[in-house]
Structure 1
Amino acid sequence: MTEFRIDRLGAKGDGIAETSDGPVYLPFTLPGERVATNPLGGEAEPRILQASPHRREPSCPHFGACGGCDLQHADDELYRSFKRDVVVTALARAGIDAEVAPLVPCPPASRRRVTLSAARAGGRVLLGYNAPQSHQIVAIRTCPIALPAIERALPDLRRLAAILVDRKRPLRLTVTATASGLDIAAAGGARLTDGMRGDAIGLAMDAGFARLAADAEVLVKARAPLIDFSGITVEPPPGAFLQAVSTAETAMAERVLGHVDGAKRVADLFSGCGTFSLRIARRSAVHAVEAEDGPLAAQVAAWRSVPGLKPLTTEKRDLFRRPIPAKELKGFDAVVFDPPRAGAEGLCRELANSSVDRIAAVSCNPATLGRDLAILVAGGYRITSVTPIDQFLWSRHVEAVALLER
């Protein structure tokens, strides 16, 4: 056995011990702890010899085996500091000198969307999350990050997986808690026979699911699955992107709307189903750009259902392959963008050459956010605030909203 003292947490939540041979990464350890581990990897986890005062008992019986949570063993003080520091460090590495606000936290049992995996194992079907750094599925009985409606449905979801799962590849179930019930989108399942389709529909009806889709085919819709965007209800297409926690979404929207308030015309880029564009339309004309037809159609339908909103126009466009040129951005007072983890490098290069007054950048990847902000700052923008927002509880992932102006 070899002893180590943990000096700090790494970006992935592992404890790091600095040694003469370089850093040693030890999972599920905390700064200040003394731990012992087998250098040949004989133990799954390091043995704690001296625990940190910030260590606490994890709330989930699957912690450590399930790869969904990295930091349930850290108390709130250390955990929130770690998440803020992830953003601070990413920006510093990109050469960004900006004040980063305290983390906006999210509570347990608040996640409205989870993606579960299922696979056959002998005569059983396992339903849960992948083990850390593995494709092995850890079957779960509970999930303390998910809304109770999702947790209660785990037995029915396991039975549904047994109907849909393929023998050779894992099935993914994206489960969203909506105002009208659970919305289930299955992907990667077996080719449906009439019998499988009938069994899946019967189970969905008995379980009270609002909608069930398999590889974009809607098998049954008992009720329209509705998501509320501050009083505007949207029916998203099956599996469409949504922010994982509604309170986190509200925190993002408050900062974005406050920043673009007073703008006559706003561009919402990577708009999804209208998380920001529909809220913005209460005060400003908005142009929403997204790569797929379904989310655009969903927000147009929601916009039409609410009288008195400002004009909403939409555009189907792959912003990675075709960023909007600076000259086409001339008619906008403000721009909002919320890209996938790859960020918005091409778009930011165009924005840096534009005359847009205000930008709200929303990101789930602090590293690409830092890169994108550096491009904008070099183009003459000034960062007025950066706020980290938690919606991936007990994981290393963190959202952030950065506001800029010329």
Structure 2
Amino acid sequence: MSVSETILRVAARGDGVTEGGRHVAFTAPGDTVSGDVITPGPHHQTPPCRHFPQCGGCQLQHLDEASYSDFVEQRVRDALHAQGLDAAIRPATISPPRSRRRATLHAERVGKRVILGFSESGSHALVDIAECHVLLPELFALVAPLRVMLANVLKAKGRTDIHLAAIDQGVDLLIGGPAHDTLAAAEALTEFAIKHRLARVSIDEGLGYETRWEPEPATITLGGVPVAVPPAAFLQATAHGEAALLTAVREAIGPARLTADLFAGLGTFALSLPGKVYAGEAARDAILALKSAASMAGRAVFAEHRDLFRRPLTTAELDRFEAVVLDPPRAGARDQIVNLAPARVPRIAYVSCNPSSFARDAKLLCEGGYRLDWVQPVGQFIWSTHVELAAAFSRPDNPQP
């Protein structure tokens, strides 16, 4: 007879873990497992979407609000403990359902029809989505008409990425794959854009994007400043999550008069910080857009096109600032952290989309004399295993003036 075990927690990849160390998919804390039979507990909810768990867009729709928040917080705590670190972990901020303002769907022609959706979990097969509980309604409303339009535009073979983003003027659409170069295809794109009042339509067949429709300049407002937004540019996943990260960053650096914003992107943080700001970013289109927007708005932002992996700011350069904000990609910012750890910068705000690489970098900072004051977990990708955070570091031997 099988022994009954209770699920105690949810591991980083989304499996429930019993007291005996067994990993069981699609279980929640408090569920009981006997052999292959799962008995739902108090934190196991009915998934809201018909495509779960087949669709790989979500992994944790079976968790209730409390257990999902616990999962997000525990991911951060576990990453820190793995590096021998401890800090105050604040309650997680979770973006609500139907708030995702950017997404990449996949399209594939099957006969005369087009399948459009997310990949299945652990597979290259596509789920042809008929509903979605994470996308903004205005993004999901385009899915069905996109299938019809793409049937006239896409070439017969291959998979195409479809990038959608909600920006100031409406929905920005980028088709990232082979399309027919015919008058009929061009007319279909234009008619679709007009009918659905799109902000912009672009195509990228591998040689860079080509904009086909843009009735007025496409922008995203950051810190009250409209910034020209390149197709498929990085934006925080939800407006809710962006606001949570901004609040944490501003608290972490305090009233700094001179701040370095590293991996600045389009200026999500640079345009919302007090005092004067140096912004460093390797993506040319993004940093030029930030530079132009800041200049037109009269903001005290010096924007530099600089690859911070190949040419990180030196310790001497960093010592000029009262605060540093950094928001690197998933791999973290090890090379930049090596120079930052011995610097005399009083305050650091570190934004991360990977608790593991963050914890690695945090250990280097703490070994250099910084103190990790607190961490704010942020769940912008609700029901996924993707966890973000903002953290505050200070140097006790060099307090902020």
Is TM > 0.5 for Structure 1 vs Structure 2? yes
Q: Secondary structure at the match of 2:99?
A: coil
Gap change, CA 1:326 and 1:167, over 3 Å in 2: farther
1:259 counterpart = 2:260 = no
The alpha carbon displacement at 1:7 in A equals 3.9
SS across alignment from 1:82: helix
Cα deviation digits, residues 24-73 of structure 1 (max 9, x gap): 43221123323466xxxxxxxx653x211111111111111101111111
Name the counterpart of 1:327.
Answer: 316
Instruction: Report the counterpart of residue 302 of structure 1 in structure 2.
Output: 293
| CA distance in structure 2 between the aligned counterparts of 1:164 and 1:52, rounded to whole angstroms | 48
Q: 1:211 — aligned with what?
A: 200
Deviation at 1:17, TM superposition (A): 4.0
Q: How does 1:183-198 map to 2 (within 5 A)?
A: 183-190=172-179, 192-198=181-187
Instruction: Provide the C-alpha distance between the structure 2 equivalents of 1:89 and 1:332, rounded to a whole number of angstroms.
Output: 32
How many pairs are equivalent?
A: 390
**Structure 2: distance between partners of 1:120 and 1:36:** 43
Once the two structures are superposed, residues 195-238 of structure 1 have per-residue CA deviations (whole angstroms, 9 ceiling, x without a partner) of 42332222222221110111111111023333222322222111
Aligned positions of 1:162-201 closer than 5 A: 162-190=151-179, 192-201=181-190
Aligned to 2:77: 88
Counterpart residue type for residue 292 of structure 2? A
Q: Distance in 1 between matches of 2:180 and 2:278?
A: 39
CA 64–36 in structure 1, closer or farther in 2 if over 3 Å, else same: farther
Q: Cα distance, 1:3 vs. partner?
A: 7.0
Mark the CA change 1:319 to 1:17 in structure 2 (over 3 Å): closer, same or farther.
same
CA distance in 2, matches of 1:161, 1:154: 10
Tell me, yes or no, if structure 1 residue 271 matches structure 2 residue 264. Answer: yes
Counterparts of residues 6-405 of structure 1 (less than 5 Å): 6-17=7-18, 23-35=21-33, 47-48=37-38, 50-190=39-179, 192-215=181-204, 216-280=209-273, 283-307=274-298, 309=299, 311-405=300-394
Give the superposed CA RMSD.
2.0
Q: What does the per-residue CA deviation read over 1:120-143, in whole Å, with 9 as the maximum and x for residues that have no partner?
A: 223321100011011111010121
- Give the superposition deviation at 1:194: 4.5
CA 160–405 in structure 1, closer or farther in 2 if over 3 Å, else same:
farther
SS in 2 for 1:177: strand
3-state SS, counterpart of residue 84 of structure 1: helix
Structure 1 unaligned runs (5+)?
38-45
Provide the rounded CA distance (Å) in 2 between the counterparts of 1:136 and 1:4: 35
Displacement after TM superposition at 1:324 (Å): 1.7
Mapped to 2, the partners of 1:2 and 1:156 lie a distance apart of: 50
What is the distance in 1 between the residues matched to 2:166 and 2:239? 10
Q: Secondary structure at the match of 1:114?
A: strand
Q: Give the secondary structure class of the aligned counterpart of 1:28.
A: coil
C-alpha distance in structure 1 between counterparts of 2:218 and 2:388, whole Å: 25
The answer to whether the Cα contact below 8 Å between 2:376 and 2:391 also exists between their aligned partners in 1 is: yes
Given residue 93 of structure 2, which amino acid in structure 1 is its aligned partner?
Answer: V
Letter in 2 for 1:220: W
- CA distance, structure 2, for counterparts of residue 194 and residue 299 of structure 1: 36
Q: What amino acid is aligned across from residue 25 of structure 2 in structure 1?
A: P
Q: Secondary structure at the match of 2:93?
A: coil
Shift of 1:357: 1.5
Give the Cα–Cα distance (whole angstroms) in 1 for the partners of residues 225 and 2 of structure 2: 58
Identity of aligned residues (%): 39
**1 CA distance for matches of 2:302 and 2:358?**
27
Alpha-carbon distance, 1:193 to partner? 4.0
CA deviations on 1:305-361 (whole Å, 9 max, x unpaired) are: 324x3x211111222222222122222211111011111111111101222121110
Distance 1:69 1:97, change over 3 A: same
Instruction: Please report the TM-score for the alignment, with normalisation by the length of structure 2.
Output: 0.92
Q: Tell me the distance in 2 between the aligned counterparts of 1:162 and 1:36.
A: 48
Structure 2: distance between partners of 1:190 and 1:256: 42
The answer as to whether partners of 1:126 and 1:158 remain within 8 angstroms in 2 is yes
Structure 2: stretches of 5+ with no match in the other structure:
396-401
Whether the aligned pair in 1 keeps the contact of 2:252 and 2:391 (CA below 8 Å) is: no
**Partner of 1:305: helix, strand, or coil?**
helix
